[in-house]
Structure 1
Amino acid sequence: MDGYIMRKTQTRNTKGKIIAAAWKLFYEQGYEDTTVDEIIRAAQTSKGSFYHYFSGKDALLSTLAYLFDEKYEELLGEMDESMGSFEKLIYLNNELFTMIEDSISIDLLARLLSTQLITRGEKSLLDRNRLYYRLLRQIISEGQEKGELRADVSVGEIVKIYALCERSFLYDWCISGGEYSLRSYSQRMLPMLLADFRL
């Protein structure tokens, strides 16, 4: 059992290192100017390991959701448990959008969103097994149990609206070329959009 856990952790660490290195390089020097060899060097892994997880550089475009979930995992350890459920949702959004604004180029975000529109296969942003969706369901369920959020609307419906709002902000930010602060705009607007769910 311990061997299995170690292998799983090592797999996650290797894959995570490749993804983190790739997106850092994409941000610093652009997607087109980043090579697989540079990603391998930055991740301190081998070519065999890279191709074990990814068929090529293009396959990394759909991994941004993985990077987002890594951020959520980090935030889980930092989130103040005394916050109400509504405040937790706003906090998660603010922290994620801060990360996006500071370290993900608009061009790459737009590429991810466009691949999600045309792909017939896995749509990583909609994967209900992602930590993102599990965390949202947990926070909203707790909020309903504590009487902080409306219980006459299902957990799934509130999760869907929240995720829809976030994707809408990201899409608009991309098509407007980042002419405004994603984080600041969302800080102002998201509480208003979700206000009807709050008790």
Structure 2
Amino acid sequence: MTGGKKHKETKGDKTKKELYTTALRLFRKKGYENVSVSEIAREAGTAKGTFYIHFPSKVAVVTEMLHYYDDTYEMTAAHLPADCSPLFAIQRLIEESCSFTCKIIGVDLIRVLYTQQLYKNPGEQEEMDYNRPLYKLFTHFFAEGQKQGLFNQQQQPLAMTIWLIRAIRGVFYEWAMENGNFDLIEETRNFTNVLLLGFQR
């Protein structure tokens, strides 16, 4: 299962990506609160006004992380072996989500993302959008697993997806609360494997 066709990258797309990657680098280096929009624009080699063309605020850069998470999920799914089991596919997606969070995002920005989402109404919370690739991919693989007799038929694929993502999000929350003081990949793997075992026949 792969994502849709990607549109050709424009000059504006490249500028937005440069602003995003520059901001992320500065956030990781100095901390979110210690980085200004002016500094991001300067380091990216563009004007402050250009920043606001692409992002309405500094926190919007953090929300943009969700799109990069989505790209990671779609890329992972596209490179899965054709004959892999649905369970393996789900486990790989979980692992890649953790790896991206540890290596690219970091504890500070996960806190900012969660805080920013909490201030929104449920319908405006991008992280909770069931149309996001991770929801669609998990639902697809749970459905395939049911067809193959791997998962039980007691729950709908979307319901299993929602429970699994809640479990992952809970571990991420604890990781942020504890300032990254445990192995996120290992802890998430151990926790979600118990849940996945409960879904199996």
Aligned residue for 2:81, secondary structure, equals: coil
Aligned equivalents of 2:29 and 2:191: distance in 1? 30
Q: Distance in 2 between matches of 1:76 and 1:38?
A: 36
State the match for 1:51 in structure 2: 52
| Partners of 1:177 and 1:149 in 2: CA distance | 35
Amino acid at match of 1:87: F
Q: 1-side partners of 2:131 and 2:44: how far apart?
A: 26
Deviation, structure 1 residue 41: 5.0
After TM superposition, list the pairs within 5 Å mapping 1:9-28 onto structure 2.
Answer: 9-10=9-10, 13-28=14-29
State TM-score, norm by structure 1. Answer: 0.84
Alignment gaps of 5+ in structure 1: none
Further displaced range: 37-46 or 156-165: 37-46
In structure 2, C-alpha distance between the alignment counterparts of 1:20 and 1:143, rounded to whole Å: 37
How far apart are the structure 1 equivalents of 2:41 and 2:188?
35
User: CA–CA distance in 2 between the matches of 1:180 and 1:142?
Assistant: 33
- Displacement of 1:175 in angstroms is 1.2
Give the 5 Å matches for 1:108-119: 108-119=109-120
Secondary structure of 2:33 counterpart: coil
SS of equivalent residue, structure 1 residue 128: coil
Residue 111 of structure 1: CA displacement?
Answer: 1.6
CA-to-aligned-CA distance 1:112-167 (integer Å, 9 cap, x gap): 11222222362111012212222222222222222222223111101101111111
TM-score calculated relative to the size of structure 2: 0.83
Q: Quick check: 126-135 or 11-20, which moved more?
A: 11-20
Shift of 1:36: 2.3
Taking a change above 3 Å as real, the CA distance of residues 115 and 85 of structure 1, as seen in their structure-2 partners, is: same
Q: Distance in 2 between matches of 1:177 and 1:36?
A: 25
Partner of 2:129: 127
How many aligned residue pairs are there?
193
Map 1:139-150; keep pairs closer than 5 Å: 139-150=141-152
Give me the whole-angstrom Cα distance separating, in 1, the residues matched to 2:129 and 2:87. 23
Shift of residue 35 of structure 1? 2.8
**Residue equivalent to 2:192:** 190
CA distance in 1, matches of 2:160, 2:149: 15
- 2 CA distance for matches of 1:153 and 1:44? 51
- Give the RMSD, CA atoms, in angstroms: 2.3
2:29 aligned partner, one-letter code: E
**What does the per-residue CA deviation read over 1:19-70, in whole Å, with 9 as the maximum and x for residues that have no partner?**
3332232112221232324433555665454322311212223222222112
**Paired amino acid for 1:64:** M
AA at the equivalent of 1:197: F
What SS does the aligned partner of 1:32 have? helix
CA distance in 2, matches of 1:12, 1:139: 32
The equivalent residue for 2:172 is 170
Paired AA for residue 139 in structure 1: F
Q: Name the % identity.
A: 26
Aligned counterpart, 1:155 = 157
